[in-house]
Amino acid sequence: MSEQSFDVVVVGAGPAGYPTAIRAAQLGLSVACVDDWRNADGTRQFGGTCLNVGCIPSKALLESSELYHRAGSEFAAHGISVDGVGLDLDAMQKRKRGIVKQLTAGIEALLKSAGVTAIQARGRLLGERKVEVVGDDGTSRLLAAGHVVLATGSTPIELPVAPFDGERIVDSAGALEFSEVPARLGVIGAGVIGLELGSVWGRLGADVVLLEALDAFLPMVDEQVARDALKQFKRQGLDIRLGARVTGAEADGDSVAINYEAGGREERLEVDKLIVCVGRRPVTDGLLAAESGVELDDNGFIIVDESCRTSAPKVWAVGDVVRGPMLAHKGTEEGVMVAELIAGHAAEMNYATIPSVIYTAPEIAWVGQTEAEVKADGRDYKVGTFPFSANGRAKALQQAAGLVKLIADREYDEILGLHIVGPMAGELIAEAVLAMEFSASAEDLQRTIHAHPTLTEALHEAALSADKRAIHALNR
């Protein structure tokens, strides 16, 4: 078996893997990046789940569906008459696929430009940092590495009571490929992915029912923000049923029959399509030979330290395949950190300032601790809130629902968390992330001049509100 040597071999070319490879190459290391992604039609593309069937295509459909919804329901308030708004789902899907193709091709170009040897094949870690690469034709070769970085990502969890059939019962990837809008859509799981996909098809005309086993809505989100968001989603027509545990789902002809328990009763729901969004699991099956020396936890995640080192010398792991939130940007920053550590630079990552975003309308975004978490820590704290209903820019956008909530330490004024439900929350949260990264105080945010009229003024006013200094809202 032929063998080739590199300073670094990265296994996986998603948002954790390809930045690792590019940064390592920028630092003067010889790098190979091995990726086994296959599309449903068998074609290969770089970018992993995020670019191919996750972040990018879902956001394309979210944007298209929101424009369609607004044209039919909001334009009249702006004095714009639109007669006969129609939906061309084929064109919408074609646009989505075009965006994906452009971005995945761009990754291939970036790898090549950086001098990375990009290999589309299956990689498996053996002992002594050797990676076995198996091509589409079945031939094998070995890559010997000074360092190996594992970045194989995650895949949807399948429920035994609702197995995927690829047609009526689908995962999140399948839900992005519907050729027609289902009249009745069921979604198991009212988390980030379930809400986003439910929003897409709900805006396009489906009657959507989301079945969530937990009694609490978005428990990882600040309770006040989650409560506000739930009200808005229900006003939009999303039927969100909490405490609903699915016990079985069976496709029969043109429909899916779902059995679930709620409130101590057996319930039944019939839909045309069912999306299962109950989380994701790490992709480690077949990745590690027994002699690799890499340890997994009970859930299949690769065990790493705070710097993403595994139990095997000079073997690292980043992204969805390790502990922490399954977020593309978290994996990217881990990969860059690891590349710099390999090259001998000082590098670390601040896990306390990783932002999260749900791209519904309204968007939900947060960074840092919730009020419940701060309270559980026993810290004395203060809270400032500001509603978008008092923000001129939000009013002009016809998107004045929601709020900004800031939590700060009462004694030291340190910003502990910031939470948003409202327009462009995913963009606004960056200001809070930057503030927390530099250990800014609420007063620092108060003293920062914000352009008028902008949505960012809501963050400014929330910071002022924490000290009962808000100008454009009552100080309670």
Question: Residue ranges per domain, the chain?
Answer: 3-156+281-349, 169-278, 353-465
> Could you read off the pLDDT of 342-369 as tens digits, one per residue?
999 999 999 999 999 999 999 999 999 9
Sheet of 255-262, strand order: 244-252, 255-262, 265-271
The topology under which CATH files domain 169-278 is: FAD/NAD(P)-binding domain (3.50.50)
pLDDT confidence bin for 1, thresholds 50/70/90: low
Q: What is the pTM of this model?
A: 0.96
Pick the CATH number of 3-156+281-349 from 3.50.50.60, 3.10.20.600, 3.20.20.70, 3.40.50.2300: 3.50.50.60
Q: Which of 134, 103, 104 is nearest to 120 (CA)?
A: 134
Q: Which amino acid makes up residue 432?
A: A
Has residue 83 got a pLDDT over 90?
no
Q: Any catalytic annotation for residue 450?
A: no
> Could you read off the pLDDT of 374-412 as tens digits, one per residue?
999 999 999 999 999 999 999 999 999 999 999 999 999
Cα–Cα–Cα angle for 354, 325, 24, rounded to 5 degrees: 70
Q: Are 329 and 350 in contact (CB under 8 A)?
A: no
The dihedral sign for the CA sequence 43, 331, 20, 15: positive
Question: Above pLDDT 90, what percent of the chain?
Answer: 96
Q: What is the mean pLDDT of the chain?
A: 97
> Could you read off the pLDDT of 99-156 as tens digits, one per residue?
999 999 999 999 999 999 999 999 999 999 999 999 998 999 999 999 999 999 999 9
Residue of 147, 345, 450, 452 marked catalytic: 452
Ranges assigned E (strand) in 325-435: 356-358, 363-368, 381-387, 403-409, 415-422
Domain covering 353-465 assigned CATH 1.10.287.1080 in the classification? no
Q: CA-based Rg of the chain, rounded to a whole angstrom?
A: 24
Write the Ramachandran bin of 59: left for phi over 0, alpha for psi from -120 to 50, otherwise beta: alpha
Write the Ramachandran bin of 28: left for phi over 0, alpha for psi from -120 to 50, otherwise beta: left
